[in-house]
Amino acid sequence: MKVLLFLLIPVLVVAGCTSKTSRSKEHLNKGIIEMYESRFDAAINHFKQAIELDPESYEAYFQYGNCLYTTGKHQEAMQAYDQTVSLNPSFADAYYNRGLLKEMFGDKEGACIDYKKAEELGKPNVSDKTRFCF
């Protein structure tokens, strides 16, 4: 009996994690739909729930950042993009969007670094931004 219980515990732990990850993805998808339907408050709530369920979801942080950017919450969007890059350093779109914010804030050097990184990672059509970088 003890052996059976010992074998079941890892299965239950994995099942619980999968369930959280699955629910996180549901909230992420619902948030994207809400955002595209211009229901930004609802989208933000879904993205926050997705992040709470799966704090390692770079996609949730990225979409959360996009929604915050769209609603003019630029400092919060910057934090979300920072977290996205921290969780997935190969995600070109996060560098590009963060570069847009840095440029908006007057940080041309920081923007150029992010634009160049996005280009290096394969984001197309970044040369219109990087050609002014030295």
For residue 67, give every residue at least 6 positions away whose Cβ sits within 8 Å of its Cβ, in sequence order, or none: 31, 35, 40, 43, 44, 47
User: Architecture of domain 1-74 in CATH?
Assistant: Alpha Horseshoe (1.25)
Q: Is the pLDDT of residue 9 over 70?
A: no
Residue 133's pLDDT is what? 87
Confidence of residue 124 (pLDDT cuts 50, 70, 90): very high
Q: Is the pLDDT of residue 86 over 80?
A: yes
Residue 125's pLDDT is what? 93
pTM for the model: 0.84
Q: Are 81 and 97 in contact (CB under 8 A)?
A: yes
CB-neighbour burial class of residue 47 (10 A; exposed 0-12, middle 13-18, buried 19+)? buried
Domain ranges of the chain: 1-74, 89-134
39-52 pLDDT, tens digit each: 999 999 999 999 99
